[in-house]
């Protein structure tokens, strides 16, 4: 009997067996016993405290947004340690419960829809489909930073830790598509994974990208993350990687690839994960929307937290990370009230990777009020001073401000 | 579940070996503060997701809670009893009015 059935007393028809739903009850330690440490995400108006725990399999200390299905956020301190986010600290996000066991030999990826010959591929078939490619790319939730929206909006109340940067290894999606052959009239390529709804009739989490994006040389069907097999919570055995695009398209536990000939009218493309077509105010009700796609530039100070003390009269070194989004980072500036100081950029690990920045202030003359860092990418996109508010809290990239106290 | 990367003699691509993967997720204690309507929430909401999904939301109106519960029925086909929605909304409004949950000891 599934957990859903236990709680509701209703026997529900399931589209597929969710191995995890029953297994959760067998887990030994009650998470609550381990929730001794809390972290304050600084969400305006609260609730702002979240548990920090290493209790999830394969994970280090993570911020718990939700136990089931898991939503785990990366503490910001992790981003001070380098440009690559270790697998055990990468954020976790599932829309629906995922299976807790996957048999590699039995796993298949069906490639169908508008193709010349539908195929069912084993993992070995996928690995042999083409050249093995490595891409360093940021994986960021479309709702990263939603909890910081003001006015607040409902949804997963992430701080800014629903992001991470990893080296992904796999084959090109276009090489996998070639195993079936894309037919004429193809418009989009849609992905589905092993995560399916608990309830009959609910929308499966399926997502599609335009064909020209699918055919890019750096769009992958990946099996490795930072040189290790994809951890189950990150989509074992395969996930889609679309560098520069929000992670909603990076479908995990990939099991179906479907070539479409028209628009995608499925729920998570046509109804959800959409942003206003033009800027709106919180009072606007009816407005056209477009699907969220590419990431804008962002930057963060990682050397100091909001409210940290700095030494009066001494030099101050500030450090952090920046990203260009869907194009390479061009510059990062430290900004305050009416001033901007260029930061020095660290090694370039590719256009879709985090990049370190550093700046030295010769002497701290007083409190540094509401300072931030402003990233710009090579296409001219630059972080705005004011939040592009939207009712789903998507694509936050307002300049993040902190105050440092001189003493 | 380490990935074995072995270079095969006459092939241009490294061989990738896929091993089975499984995890045991932590238990979900389903911790909900006491209050009128708590049973309605337990019966209708926490089968599909942990309580934190609701408890961590910003303070919103009773109407918003009702619309969220209705969305669970209409979009996500959740087996929520429509008659329980007022009690669910009452509970969430009351819990939110209490403010930030205290850190467990």
| Inter-residue contact A215 to B10 (CB < 8 Å) | no
Report the DSSP pairing between strands A220-225 and A163-172.
antiparallel
pLDDT of residue A156: 98
Task: State both tokens at A405.
Answer: 């106290």
Q: Is pLDDT larger for residue A33 or for residue A370? A: A370
The Cα A317–Cα A296 span in angstroms is 26
- Looking at residue B91, which CATH number applies to its domain? 1.10.760.10
CA–CA separation, B29 and B31 (whole Å): 6
Better-scored residue on pLDDT, B16 or B4: B16
Which residues of A, range 141-200, sit inside 8 Å of B by Cβ?
A: 147, 152-154, 156-157, 197-200
Average pLDDT, chain B: 87
Residue A371 has pLDDT above 80, yes or no: yes
Characterize A187-209 residue by residue with b for buried, 16 or more Cβ atoms within 10 angstroms of its Cβ, and e for exposed: ebbbbbbbbbbbbeebbbbbbbb
* Residue in A closest to B72 by C-alpha: A202
Rounded to the nearest 10 degrees, the angle between the axes of helix B62-74 and helix B85-98 is: 130
* Contact yes or no for A202 and B75 at CB 8 A: yes
SS3 A190: strand
Rg for chain B (alpha carbons), in Å? 22
Mean pLDDT of A351-367: 98
Mutate to test the interface with B, among A229, A232, A270 (most CBs of B within 10 A): A229
pLDDT for B23-62, tens place per residue? 999 999 999 999 999 999 999 999 999 999 999 999 999 9
Whether B15 has a pLDDT exceeding 90, the answer reads no
**A25-34, A60-69, A396-405: least confidently modelled range:** A25-34
Interface probe with A: pick from B5, B15, B23, B92, most Cβ of A within 10 Å: B23
Among candidate residues A184, A176, A171, A172, the one with its CA nearest the CA of residue A260: A184
Contact A202 B47 (CB under 8 A): no
Check whether A373 has a pLDDT greater than 60: yes
Phi, psi (rounded to 5 degrees) for A301: -85, 120
Strand order through the sheet with A92-93: A37-40, A49-53, A62-66, A71-73, A92-93
Contact yes or no for B56 and A57 at CB 8 A = no
The domain A298-406 having CATH identifier 1.10.150.20: the answer here is no
Between CA A261 and CA A256 the distance in angstroms is 16
Q: Is A228 on the interface with B (CB under 8 A)?
A: yes
Res A16 pLDDT > 60: no
Bridge partners for A372 per DSSP: A335, A401
User: Residue A24 and residue B58: Cβ atoms within 8 Å?
Assistant: no
User: Mean per-residue pLDDT for B84-89?
Assistant: 98
Q: What is the pLDDT of residue B13?
A: 73
Question: Longest Cα pair distance anywhere in chain B, in angstroms?
Answer: 70
According to DSSP, the β-strands at A401-406 and A368-377 are antiparallel
Best mutation site among A145, A199, A274 for testing chain B: the one with the most B CBs within 10 Å? A199
Q: What is the pLDDT of residue B103?
A: 43
Asked if B16's CB is within 8 angstroms of A127's CB, the reply is yes
State yes or no: pLDDT of A82 exceeds 50: yes
| CB-CB under 8 Å, A153 with B26 | no
Separation in Å, CA A172 to CA A78, A111, A191, B80 = 30, 14, 14, 43
More confident residue, A192 or A29: A192
> What 3-state DSSP class applies to A197?
coil
A214-241, pLDDT tens digit by residue?
A: 999 999 999 999 999 999 999 999 999 9
Q: Using CB atoms within 10 A of its CB, is residue A163 exposed (0-12), middle (13-18) or buried (19+)?
A: buried
What's the CATH code, domain A109-291? 3.90.420.10
Q: Using CB atoms and an 8 Å cut-off, which of residues 42-61 of chain A contact chain B?
A: 43, 45-50, 53, 55-58
For chain A, what percent of residues have pLDDT higher than 90?
A: 91
Is residue A37's pLDDT more than 90?
A: no
Q: Supply the pLDDT for residue B1.
A: 40
- The full DSSP string for B56-87 is TSPP--HHHHHHHHHHHHHTT-----GGGHHH
The answer to whether A180 and A112 are in contact (CB under 8 A) is: yes
Residue B90, in any domain of the structure? yes
Q: Per-residue pLDDT for A7 more than 70?
A: no
Confidence of residue B12 (pLDDT cuts 50, 70, 90): low
Burial class (CB in 10 A: 0-12, 13-18, 19+), A101: middle
Distance in angstroms (rounded) separating the CA atoms of residues A326 and A351:
8
Does the beta-carbon distance from B28 to A43 stay under 8 Å? no
pLDDT at A117 over 60: yes
- Cβ contact B79–A103 (<8 Å): no
Pairing of strands A109-113, A254-260: parallel
Q: How far is A322 from chain B (nearest CA, A)?
A: 28
Residue B101's pLDDT is 56
Which of A48, A67, A203 minimises the CB distance to B100? Answer: A48
User: How open is the CA angle A270-A273-A277, to the nearest 5 degrees?
Assistant: 80
Closest-CA residue of B relative to A224 is: B3
Average pLDDT of chain A, as a whole number: 92
Cα–Cα distance, B91 to B39 (Å, whole number): 9
Ranges A79-83, A92-96, A134-138, B6-10: which has the least confidence: B6-10
| pLDDT number for residue A131 | 97
Using omega within 30 degrees of 0 as the cis cutoff, is the peptide bond preceding A242 cis?
Answer: no
Vertex A226: Cα angle to A223 and A232 (nearest 5): 50
Quick one: pLDDT at residue B99? Answer: 83
> A212: how many CB neighbours lie within 10 A of its CB?
9
Distance CA A321, CA A400 (A): 12
Q: What is the mean pLDDT of residues A368-392?
A: 98
Question: CA of B64: which chain A residue's CA is closest?
Answer: A154
Q: With DSSP H G I counted as helix, E B as strand and the rest as coil, what are the percentages for chain B, rounded to 5?
A: 40, 10, 55
| Radius of gyration from C-alpha coordinates of chain A | 22
pLDDT beyond 90 at A11: no
Q: Look at residue B17 and tell me if it is in a domain.
A: no
Reply yes or no on whether the pLDDT at A329 is more than 50: yes
Q: Is residue B43 classed as helix, strand or coil in its secondary structure?
A: helix
Residue ranges making up the domain that contains B56? 39-99
Nearest CA in chain A to B55: A47
The better pLDDT of the pair A337, A37 is held by: A337
B96 to chain A: nearest residue by CA?
A47
A131-162 tens-digit pLDDT: 999 999 999 999 999 999 999 999 999 999 99
Quote the number of domains for chain B. 1
% of chain A surpassing 70 pLDDT: 91
pLDDT for A6 equals 40
Contact in structure between B17 and A8 (CB atoms under 8 Å): no
Confirm whether B105 is domain-assigned. no
Q: Is residue B29 part of a domain?
A: no
Best A44, A67, A239 residue to mutate vs chain B (most B CBs within 10 Å): A67
Q: What is the C-alpha separation between A367 and A364, in angstroms, rounded?
A: 8
Whether A275 has a pLDDT exceeding 80, the answer reads yes
Q: What is the mean pLDDT of residues A337-365?
A: 97
Q: Positive or negative, the Cα torsion across A63, A394, A369, B59?
A: negative
What pLDDT sits at residue B14? Answer: 78
Residue B9 in domain: no
How high is the pLDDT of residue B100? 66
Torsions phi, psi of A356, nearest 5?
-70, 150
Cβ atoms within 10 A of the Cβ of A17, count? Answer: 11
Give the model's confidence band at A382: pLDDT under 50 very low, under 70 low, under 90 confident, else very high.
very high
What pLDDT does residue B5 have? 45
Instruction: Report residue A36's pLDDT band, with 50, 70 and 90 as the boundaries.
Output: low
Looking at chain A from residue 100 to 129, which residues have their Cβ under 8 Å from any Cβ of chain B?
Answer: 100-105, 107, 123-124, 127-128
pLDDT tens per residue, range A161-172: 999 999 999 999
Judging contacts by C-beta atoms under 8 Å, the chain A residues touching residue B50 are 66-68
Chain A hits for B44, CB-CB cut-off 8 Å, are: 8
Sorted by where each begins, the domain ranges of chain A are 13-93, 109-291, 298-406
Question: Does a structural domain hold residue B65?
Answer: yes
**Greater model confidence, B46 or B4:** B46
Higher-pLDDT residue of A193 and A15 is A193
* B18 has a pLDDT exceeding 50: yes
CA nearest to A234, candidates A344, A367, A141, A368: A141
Decide: residue B83, CB within 10 A, 0-12 exposed, 13-18 middle, 19+ buried: exposed
Q: Which of A3, A21, A68 to mutate to test the interface with B (most CBs of B within 10 A)?
A: A68
Q: Does the CA dihedral A148-A152-A156-A157 come out positive or negative? A: positive
CB distance B49–A50 less than 8 Å? Answer: no
3-state secondary structure of A361: strand
């Amino acid at each position: 009997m599934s957990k859903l059935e236990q709680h509701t007393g209703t026997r529900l028809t399931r589209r597929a067996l969710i191995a995890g739903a029953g297994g959760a009850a067998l887990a030994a330690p009650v998470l609550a016993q381990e929730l001794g440490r809390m972290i304050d995400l600084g969400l305006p108006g609260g609730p702002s405290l979240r548990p920090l725990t290493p209790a999830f399999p394969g994970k280090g200390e993570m911020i718990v947004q939700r136990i089931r299905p898991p939503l785990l956020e990366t503490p910001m301190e992790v981003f001070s340690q380098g440009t690559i986010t270790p697998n055990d600290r990468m954020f976790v996000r599932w829309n629906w419960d995922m299976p807790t066991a996957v048999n590699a030999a039995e796993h298949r990826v069906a490639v169908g829809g508008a193709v010349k010959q539908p195929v069912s591929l084993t993992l070995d078939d996928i690995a042999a489909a083409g050249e093995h490619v490595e891409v360093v790319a940021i994986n960021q939730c479309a709702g990263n930073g939603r909890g910081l929206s003001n006015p607040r909006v409902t949804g997963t109340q992430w701080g800014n830790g629903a992001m991470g940067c990893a080296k992904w290894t796999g084959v090109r999606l276009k090489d996998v598509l070639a195993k079936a052959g894309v037919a004429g009239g193809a418009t989009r390529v849609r992905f589905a994974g092993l995560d399916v709804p608990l309830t009959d009739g609910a929308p499966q989490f399926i997502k599609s990208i335009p064909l020209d994006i699918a055919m890019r040389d750096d769009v992958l069907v990946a099996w490795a993350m930072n040189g290790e097999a994809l951890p189950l919570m990150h989509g074992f055995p395969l996930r889609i990687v679309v560098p520069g695009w929000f992670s909603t398209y990076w479908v995990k536990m990939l099991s179906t690839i479907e070539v479409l000939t028209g628009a995608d009218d499925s729920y998570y493309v046509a109804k959800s994960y959409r942003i206003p077509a033009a800027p709106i105010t919180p009072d606007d009700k009816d407005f056209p929307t477009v699907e969220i796609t590419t990431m804008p530039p962002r930057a963060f100070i990682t050397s100091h937290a909001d409210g940290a003390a700095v030494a009066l009269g001494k030099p101050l070194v500030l450090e952090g990370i920046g990203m260009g989004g869907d194009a390479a980072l061009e510059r990062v500036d430290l900004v305050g009230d009416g001033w901007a100081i260029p930061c020095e950029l660290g090694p370039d690990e590719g256009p879709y990777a985090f990049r370190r920045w550093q700046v030295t202030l010769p002497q701290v003359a007083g409190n540094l009020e509401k300072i931030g860092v402003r990233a710009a990418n090579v296409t001219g996109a630059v972080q705005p001073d004011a939040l592009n508010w939207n009712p789903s809290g998507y694509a936050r990239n307002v300049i993040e401000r902190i105050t440092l106290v001189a003493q | 579940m380490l990935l074995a990367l072995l270079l095969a003699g006459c092939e241009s691509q490294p061989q990738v070996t896929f091993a089975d993967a499984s995890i045991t997720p932590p238990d979900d204690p389903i911790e909900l503060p006491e209050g009128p309507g708590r049973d309605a929430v337990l019966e209708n909401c926490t089968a599909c997701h942990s309580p934190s999904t609701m408890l961590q939301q910003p303070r919103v109106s009773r109407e918003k809670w009702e619309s969220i519960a209705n969305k669970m029925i209409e979009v996500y086909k959740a087996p929520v009893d429509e008659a329980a929605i007022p009690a669910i909304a009452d509970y969430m409004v009351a819990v939110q009015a209490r403010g930030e949950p205290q850190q467990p000891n």
